[in-house]
Chains A and B, each alone.
Chain A
Amino acid sequence: MDMKVAKKKLGLKDKYKLMTRDLGWEPSYHSKDELYPYMNYEGIKIHDWDKWEDPFRLTMDAYWKYQAEKERKFYAIIDAHAQNNGHLNLTDARYLSALKIFLQAISPGEYAAHRGFARVGREFPGVGPQVACQMQAIDEIRHAQTQIHAMSNYNRYYNGFHAFADQRDRIWYTSVARSFFDDSMSAGPFEFMIAIGFSFEYVLTNLLFVPFMSGAAYNGDMATVTFGFSAQSDEARHMTLGLEVIKFILEQDPDNLPIVQNWIDKWFWRGFRVLGLVSTMMDYMLPKRVMSWREAWDIYGVENGGALFKDLARYGIKPPRGWDDAEKAIDHMSHQFMLGLYQWSFGTAFHSWIPSDADMDWLAGKYPHTFDKYYRPRWKHIKKLADAGTPFKNYGLARLCQTCQLPSVFTEPDDPTLTCHRETVYKGEKYQFCSDGCQHIFENEPEKYIQAWLPMPQLFQDPINGDLGEWMKWVSLLDGKDNGDYAGSEDQKNFEAWRGLATTNQ
């Protein structure tokens, strides 16, 4: 870091005041209500926007300077990765399934967050949040772009990366992330801030970016580590904003507490579901694993989230209502997802596989109370079917949850042998859910969720009408290339052949 630090004329506090607060003005020819029409309908009461604090006191000039430095570091590594066949340094090309999921589902989420923050930056009347939201909007579009750019290097060599935009719009599993962000963006500005700024950024993104990105480093993927940590350096600021938002809203008026608590309950559960697949990326898709999903949850969920909610108790905030059910799911969810992904892999633009005996032993060690008892017998049977030349493919399409849109792979919180069945009737229509949490969210706002575009039911409506081949074309899924078991895939054959070329003189 060779940036010259000029002798400062202004202290941090004065500079922040001049370059943020003093940029605001009082409207003279329109009323504030006309300028900011969405400030009241959610029921949140704000009396003094000047009470908003930005703990980092980051001003726009400093923001551009540091972001430019991050970009230079990012592209130095991306260039080196591309110039030195960085893709051959991976531990194994199986790992790329995690990246394909990231590109199809998470990077578009970054773009959605960009749109959301651009919008709420316009809708809040206070200068402090306007500036903070503007920075975050720019951060989020940077994340989407750097991620797509970094992963485009893999598209030159591997399947499953070529149509992420179509898959973002159409393939079944990405509707989980897309609907999550659509839900937040179609909410009011305050709910959006609690949803994305607080619940998602503060409580949950550590689980995605920190142990998973460290895992990418462990697996030789410097491109991903670089975009991951470059993005995460912004996340620290976003998390601080998220915590500031919630303190600000709660300190403004006691009537805000029940509204905020309801949003925390909703968005914790929505976030827990949308990030659930990260459990499988960590436990199954990293050939070399830094820590298990359970260990990551203990650090970033239990310890960190626990400290947060203990701190917020002084405002009357309670831990989210789904917290206990989440804890009960931790030792099961990665296995439940991977078993689902394997049997539906004909319909995914990434590969799945049967874990090796060594992998299963690792899982049994990390999940001593659940893996051998519940999940190893299923994998052993699936292995037997594969060895017999009749690999298990489940052509029965999945029941999706009306709220989170995930296949209902989850079991009863207190009975891991039984699928969780929940249903409700609203205006004469029946709706199915994966959990109490998702049913509760639906029942609070049914008019919103009855509009859900659920990919499985849609497959039997126009224009696909149940034709799986047509569906594959429509989602740009190349059968026999993008999908199916990793064992025997083009990705596997190519990676082994190229690595052989790289390490021998043949």
Chain B
Amino acid sequence: MTVAAIKEYIAVPRDRVENFHGKQLVYVSWDHHLLFASPFLLCLPPETPFRELVSGPLGMLLQPDPDAAAIDWQRVEWLKSNQPWTPDFDASLAANGIGHKDQLRFRTPGLNSLMAA
């Protein structure tokens, strides 16, 4: 039962990628760094190189965390859809297989200034 209804009930998703004028949504979150109250929502063209996502919008947003300057991006552990995953920094979001509304997470073991584990 997808919905109790008196007749056939088929809906249209509100946030389809076509509605974003050539961009897509990506969610990014830094595990165990809850100064940022929620995962970030970013809206970017799928052609954006992954490196640009990290050095651009994500890097800016992370600055208020006392661990931000100590992140070694070569050693960061990534997850996509909650599974371990390795990005290609020189490839685009699309080429990295990052779809619309995908959730990326990264971990920086050893950095936990504000969070007693």
Q: Which of B33-41, B47-55, B86-94 contacts A (4 or more CB under 8 A)?
A: B33-41
- A36 proximal to B (CB < 8 A): no
A392 to B35, CA, bound (A): 10
Are B37 and A398 interface neighbours, CB within 8 A? yes
**Cβ-defined contact, B114 with A408, below 8 A:** no
Is the CB of A187 closer than 8 A to any CB of chain B? yes
With beta carbons under 8 angstroms apart, the residue of B23, B36, B116 that contacts A394 is B36
Contact, CB under 8 Å: B23 / A460: yes
Using a CB–CB cutoff of 8 Å, the interface residues on chain B facing chain A are 1-6, 9-16, 19-21, 23, 25, 27, 29, 31-32, 34-43, 57, 61, 64, 66, 81-82, 99-103, 105, 113-117
Complex CA distance for A431 and B103, rounded to whole angstroms: 10
Q: Are A340 and B37 in contact (CB under 8 A)?
A: yes
Residue of chain A at shortest CB distance from B64: A392
Q: Can you list 22 contacts pairing A with B, beta carbon distance less than 8 Å? A: A43-B4, A339-B34, A377-B114, A378-B114, A394-B64, A396-B57, A398-B37, A398-B39, A399-B41, A407-B37, A407-B38, A411-B34, A417-B32, A417-B34, A419-B38, A421-B103, A446-B2, A450-B11, A451-B12, A458-B14, A458-B15, A465-B21
Bound Cα distance from A343 to B35, whole angstroms: 9
A457 within 8 A of B: yes
Instruction: Give min CB distance, A277 to chain B, whole Å.
Output: 13
Question: Which one of B10, B32, B103 lies within 8 Å of A399 (CB-CB)?
Answer: B103
Quick check: A408 and B15 within 8 Å, CB to CB? no
Cβ contacts A236-259/B at 8 Å (1 or 0 each):
000000000000000000000000
Nearest-neighbor residue (CB-CB) of A385 within chain B: B64
Q: What B residues does A59 contact at CB under 8 A?
A: none
Partner of B66 from the list A381, A411, A458 (CB cut-off 8 Å) is: A381
Q: Are A466 and B102 in contact (CB under 8 A)?
A: no
Contact at A457–B15, with CB atoms within 8 Å? yes
B79 to chain A, nearest CB (A): 9
Q: Smallest Cβ distance from B44 to chain A, in angstroms?
A: 10
**Is A328 an interface residue when CB atoms closer than 8 A count as contact?**
no
Asked whether A373 is an interface residue with its Cβ less than 8 Å from the other chain, the reply is: yes
Task: Say whether, besides A385-B64, A419-B31, A41 and B38 are in contact (CB < 8 Å).
Answer: no
Q: Which of B27, B37, B43, B113 contacts A343 (CB 8 A)?
A: B37
A42 and B29 contact, CB distance less than 8 A:
no
Q: Would you call A445 and B3 a contact (CB within 8 A)?
A: yes
Are A453 and B115 interface neighbours, CB within 8 A? no
Please state if A423 and B81 are interface contacts (CB–CB under 8 Å): yes
* A359 adjacent to chain B (CB < 8 Å): no
- A444: Cβ under 8 A from any B Cβ: yes
A411 contact set on B, CB distance < 8 A: 34
- Complex partner residue of B39 from A381, A419, A427, A453, CB under 8 angstroms: A419
When distances are taken between beta carbons in the complex, the residues of chain B under 8 Å from A191 are 4
| Interface size in chain A (residues, C-beta < 8 A) | 61
Write out, one digit per residue, whether chain A residues 323-356 have a CB within 8 A of any chain B CB (1) or not (0): 0000000000000100110011000000000000
* Assembled-state Cα–Cα distance A377/B32 (Å): 13
Are B41 and A188 in contact, with the CB atoms below 8 A?
no
Q: Which 8 A-B pairs have the closest CB atoms?
A: A396-B40, A340-B37, A398-B38, A399-B39, A407-B38, A396-B61, A450-B13, A460-B43
A394:B61 contact, CB within 8 angstroms: yes
A423–B103 Cα gap in the complex (Å)?
A: 8
A98 and B77 alpha carbons, distance in the complex (Å): 41
- A residues in contact with B13, CB < 8 Å: 427, 429, 450-451
**Which residues of chain A are within 8 angstroms of B16 by Cβ–Cβ distance?**
429
Asked if residues B82 and A430 are in contact (CB atoms below 8 Å), the reply is no
Nearest residue, chain A, Cβ from B40: A396
Nearest opposing residue in chain B for A337, CB measure: B37
Contact A336 B37 (CB under 8 A): yes
Are the CB atoms of B115 and A430 closer together than 8 Å?
A: no
Contact of A396 among B41, B100, B113, B115 (CB under 8 A): B41
- Which residue in B11, B36, B102 is a CB contact (below 8 Å) of A430? B102
Q: What's the least CB distance linking B49 to chain A, in Å? A: 19
Nearest CB in chain A to that of B12: its residue = A451
Q: Is the CB of B35 within 8 A of A378?
A: yes
The distance from the CB of B55 to the nearest CB of chain A, in whole angstroms, is 15
Q: Does B115 contact A444, Cβ atoms closer than 8 Å?
A: no
Q: Are B37 and A409 in contact (CB under 8 A)?
A: yes
Contact B61 A447 (CB under 8 A): no
Docked pose: A409 CA to B9 CA in angstroms: 32
- By beta carbon, the residue of chain A nearest B28 is A396
Q: Are A448 and B38 in contact (CB under 8 A)?
A: no
Question: Are A447 and B4 in touch, CB under 8 angstroms?
Answer: no
Hey, which chain A residues are within 8 Å of B34, CB to CB?
Answer: 339, 374, 378, 411, 417, 419
- Asked if A452 lies at the interface with its beta carbon under 8 angstroms from chain B, I say yes
Cα separation A382 to B27 with both chains bound (whole Å) = 23
A448 contacts across to B, CB distance below 8 A: 2-3, 11
Expressed in whole angstroms, the minimum distance between the Cβ of A27 and any Cβ of chain B is 20
Known pairs A396-B41, A451-B14 / 20 extra A-B pairs, C-beta < 8 Å? A191-B4, A340-B37, A374-B34, A378-B35, A394-B37, A396-B40, A398-B37, A398-B39, A398-B41, A399-B27, A399-B39, A407-B38, A417-B32, A417-B34, A429-B101, A430-B101, A445-B2, A451-B12, A456-B41, A461-B15
CB distance from A380 to the nearest CB of B (A): 9
A396 touches B36 (CB 8 A): yes
